[in-house]
Amino acid sequence: MSTNTESWGSRVGLVLAMAGNAVGFGNFLRFPVQAVQNGGGAFIIPYLISFLLLGLPLIMIEWSTGRFGGQFGHHSTPFIMDAMGKRRLWKYVGVFGIFSNIAIASYYCYIESWTMSYIYHSLMGTFNGMDQHEVAGFFTNYLDITTSTTGIPYEALVFFLLCLALNTWILSRGLSGGVESVAKIGVPMLIVFGLFLAYRGITLKAGTNGAVFDGTVGLNFLWTPDYSSLSNPKVWLAAAGQIFFTLSVGMGSIQCYASYINKRDDIALNAMSAGWMNEFVEVVLGSAIIIPISIGYLGVDKVVELSGIGGLGLGFRTMPFLFQQWGPILSAIAGMSFFGLLFFAGITSSLAMGTPGMGFLMDEFNWSRKNAALGFGVIILILGLPTILFFNQGVFDEYDYWGGTVSLVVFALLESILFSWVFGLKKGWREINMGADIKIPLVYRFIIKFITPIMLIVVFFGSLVRPVNDDWTGQKIGNWEFHNESIIGQLKHQGIGPNKLWFADAFYSENTGIVDSTFLLRKKYYISVSNKLADGSVSSQNYRYMPSKHTLSIKPGDEVGKGDILFTGKMINKVFYIDMARLLLMSLFVFIAVLVYIAWRKNHQPQKTP
Amino acid sequence: MNTSALILMITVQVSVTALAAWFFYRVLVAKPMAEPDSYSENDDVER
């Protein structure tokens, strides 16, 4: 008998929790960067079309499958999918719905802990008087856990542990007492903070507080439509990818939340409300903060260049410096608002990531809620530590790529096929509309059955074979060059460069240029190799070495080519950490699959055998 | 801002805000289902 007697406190609380699940860092950090990298206004139209044809159908599928599974007492995707499909295979597909949540939470809690730390530093005035380089350097220092910015040793680790303890404690209080209560405070608070910052962004005037351009210059860049982009596959793939991140579809957390809904209660209106609330936060608030403020101070070209370091870089390396231009009091308020909204966006999502695994343990192994929450905390601690300790070795990025990107697309594709073609759209449509307070347009029957799975197949294959430079027309089938970020490119370690061995006796330069210096920074030694580009700018890469273990093979002023030896001695290359991260993630998937098998043997096989 | 950017921004932002507000309003005013429903806070409320 399952110990799981959870329920939602109120309908508004459920909608806010679902919206909080969807609203995350991506709304404020990833969306604007994706928009900038894909031509501003060129991105918006494919994005909105993807929301209507991919996002909304997947939301409906996940809400209805969750509620369907809940009728059989299942609150996690393995057995929700088992209840829908007759083949045993489906419950192992459902493993993705626990795996993704754990893998994502392992690095997501770390980002969440940065926001806690940055709220503290904004209020304490740590960034006051720092120039842009120093603010960016502060973030680099913070990620190096051996460096303390507050005097607290291992500060990044301490904030991570605090954040994880907070998540675990809230989860132990249950759905209505914990998750829902936080959503009822967090979602309105992040909207209030977002409105304040959006107002500041839109009304930014050139010449005041050091701004060079009006905030509307950024808005102009973002919203000027470019209809030629509609024929660019890169923009479509980016737009569809953003829809996955922003709606938290393909993860299994929506199904888990929906599984606590009675079969007679509405899901159609709830799903629409949560989905559109997320879009409000992303399209209205998310577009009006980072871009107008950063372009107002730095200009379009600089922001396009900075977007190359990603939304996290822009948010944590640049925004605190820009807020400083508003004076000490307003910058403290702005910093608290910005990192506060990120914190609330983060915690309402990370709590959602905890519930599927907890639901599984409570349903199938009769764990108490407190033990299940503690179990979640322990596993996130074990899996999260490598992302903190080996952040610079690429472990964090591996979790994000495989757990937070590829898994979502694969799971969403398979669940849409299961829903429309195995479970059957006739039954599926009845599930969506059962108890509905609104009428879903009939055209969605067609979209869910054909358009959404086709779009998902396109997105998956687009990610699998993404060509170098995103040049889809200039490639030949027999001589296809993969992008480093494509799934095949990643599997082939294409972006690794010449240091391909786990353990080596020599380190090879990963770029071509001139050794312009060897230097000591924060007690660490580096070699800098710089290259002057055709446009006059300089591209530099720093390589860390240890004088006690390594012997330099170069001296300042030497010209080096990619693959030339920089230093010799025993070393562990980045590829080792990357492969270990992949192995860890694979082990996690297999471990969950084994637990699913044990649970199935324990609880389900006797009933199914005549 | 140029005219086309202004038109696109206002159209999209007003539409998204209106739809988000409308659906949330519908949730707020929706009549509760007869017990037993999915929500525990109204379990003691007489209808």
> Quick one: which of A138, A135, A34, A122 has its CA closest to A341?
A122
- Average pLDDT, integer, range B9-30: 96
Which of B8, B9, B20 comes nearest A279 by C-beta? B20
Flag whether pLDDT at A334 surpasses 70.
yes
- Check: CB of residue A358 under 8 Å from CB of residue A377: no
- Check: CB of residue A430 under 8 Å from CB of residue A448: no
Q: What is the dihedral of CA A269, A274, A278, A283, to 10 degrees?
A: 10
- The answer for residues whose C-beta is within 8 angstroms of residue A194's C-beta and 6 or more apart is A28, A281, A285, A286, A289, A341
| Integer Cα distance of A16 and A578 in angstroms | 37
> Quick one: which of A222, A205, A218, A191 has its CA closest to A326?
A205
| Integer Cα distance of A97 and A81 in angstroms | 10
Flag whether pLDDT at A518 surpasses 60.
yes
The predicted structure's pLDDT at residue A607: 53
Measured in whole angstroms, the distance separating CA A283 from the mean position of its chain's CA atoms is 17
To test the contact with chain B by mutation, choose from A280, A282, A291 the residue with the greatest count of B C-beta atoms within 10 A, namely: A280
As a whole number, the mean pLDDT across chain A is 92
Supply the DSSP string of A218-241, one letter for each residue.
HHHHHH---GGGGG-HHHHHHHHH
- Interface check for A270 against chain B (CB to CB < 8 A): the answer is yes
The predicted structure's pLDDT at residue A258: 97
The predicted structure's pLDDT at residue A472: 86
Which of A10, A176, A437 comes nearest B26 by C-beta? A437
Measured in whole angstroms, the distance separating CA A179 from the mean position of its chain's CA atoms is 20
The residue with greater pLDDT, A229 or B22, is: B22
pLDDT tens sequence across A234-250: 888 889 989 988 999 99
The predicted structure's pLDDT at residue B44: 67
For A357-379, give one letter per residue: b (16+ CB within 10 A) or e: bbbbbbbbbebebebbbbbbbeb
The predicted structure's pLDDT at residue A388: 93
pLDDT tens sequence across A304-327: 887 777 788 889 998 999 999 999
Flag whether pLDDT at A405 surpasses 60.
yes
- A435 CB neighbours in chain B (<8 A) are 33
CB contact under 8 A, A273 and B37: no
pLDDT tens sequence across A84-111: 987 889 999 999 999 999 999 999 999 9
- B41 CB neighbours in chain A (<8 A) are 9-10, 13, 176
A513 backbone dihedrals φ, ψ, rounded to 5°: 165, -160
Confidence of residue A71 (pLDDT cuts 50, 70, 90): very high
- A280 CB neighbours in chain B (<8 A) are 16-17, 20
The residue with greater pLDDT, A151 or A492, is: A492
Confidence of residue B46 (pLDDT cuts 50, 70, 90): low
Structure tokens at A154: 């291992």
The predicted structure's pLDDT at residue A320: 93
What percentage of residues in chain A have a pLDDT greater than 70?
98
| Integer Cα distance of A373 and A370 in angstroms | 5
Lowest mean pLDDT across A229-238, A330-339, B8-17? A229-238
- Average pLDDT, integer, range B7-17: 94
Which of A9, A262, A270 comes nearest B41 by C-beta? A9
Lowest mean pLDDT across A57-61, A63-67, A605-609? A605-609
| Integer Cα distance of A548 and A523 in angstroms | 13
- DSSP annotation of A481: P
Measured in whole angstroms, the distance separating CA A292 from the mean position of its chain's CA atoms is 23
Centre a 10 Å sphere on the Cβ of residue A125 and count the other Cβ atoms it contains.
Answer: 14
Which of A176, A262, A277 comes nearest B20 by C-beta? A277
Residue with tokens 């994706």: A34
- Interface check for A27 against chain B (CB to CB < 8 A): the answer is no
- Average pLDDT, integer, range A445-462: 95
The predicted structure's pLDDT at residue A604: 64
Flag whether pLDDT at A533 surpasses 80.
no
CB contact under 8 A, B16 and A8: no
CB contact under 8 A, A276 and B19: yes
Residue A40: which region, alpha, beta or left (left: phi > 0; alpha: psi -120 to 50)? left
Pairing mode, if any, of strands A565-572 and A503-508?
A: antiparallel
> Quick one: which of A528, A27, A576 has its CA closest to A288?
A27
- A283 CB neighbours in chain B (<8 A) are 12-13, 16
- The answer for residues whose C-beta is within 8 angstroms of residue A197's C-beta and 6 or more apart is A285, A288, A289, A293, A334, A337, A338, A341
User: Distance from B45 to chain A by nearest Cα, in Å?
Assistant: 12
For chain B, the residue count is 47
| Integer Cα distance of A313 and A436 in angstroms | 43
The predicted structure's pLDDT at residue B45: 57
CB contact under 8 A, B12 and A224: no
Supply the DSSP string of A487-553, one letter for each residue.
HHHHHTTGGGTT--SSEEEEEE-SS-EEEEEEEEETTEEEEEEEEE-TTS-EEEEEEEE-TTT-EES
The residue with greater pLDDT, B35 or A417, is: A417
- A11 CB neighbours in chain B (<8 A) are 27, 30, 32, 38-39
Flag whether pLDDT at A39 surpasses 90.
no
Lowest mean pLDDT across A131-135, A273-277, A484-488? A131-135
| Integer Cα distance of A587 and A582 in angstroms | 8
Structure tokens at A182: 């936080």
Flag whether pLDDT at A418 surpasses 70.
yes
- pTM of the predicted model as reported, rounded to 2 decimal places: 0.92
- Average pLDDT, integer, range A181-194: 96
Q: Which long-range contacts (CB under 8 A, 24 or more apart) does A456-462 make?
A: A456/A54, A456/A409, A456/A412, A456/A413, A456/A416, A457/A413, A458/A240, A459/A54, A459/A237, A459/A240, A459/A241, A459/A409, A459/A413, A460/A409, A460/A410, A460/A413, A462/A233, A462/A237
Supply the DSSP string of B2-20, one letter for each residue.
-HHHHHHHHHHHHHHHHHH
Our separate counts of H helices and E strands in chain A read 29, 7
Residues on chain B bordering chain A, Cβ-to-Cβ distance under 8 angstroms = 1-2, 4-6, 8-9, 12-13, 16-17, 19-20, 23-24, 26-28, 30, 32-33, 36-42
Flag whether pLDDT at B36 surpasses 90.
no
Measured between CA atoms, the residue of chain B closest to residue A40 is B5
pLDDT tens sequence across A135-159: 988 898 888 887 776 777 888 999 9
Measured between CA atoms, the residue of chain A closest to residue B2 is A220
User: Distance from A426 to chain B by nearest Cα, in Å?
Assistant: 25
Lowest mean pLDDT across A124-133, A179-188, A251-260, A277-286? A124-133
Confidence of residue A605 (pLDDT cuts 50, 70, 90): low
**Pairs of CB atoms within 8 A across A/B:** 102
| Integer Cα distance of A167 and A331 in angstroms | 28
CB contact under 8 A, A266 and B30: yes
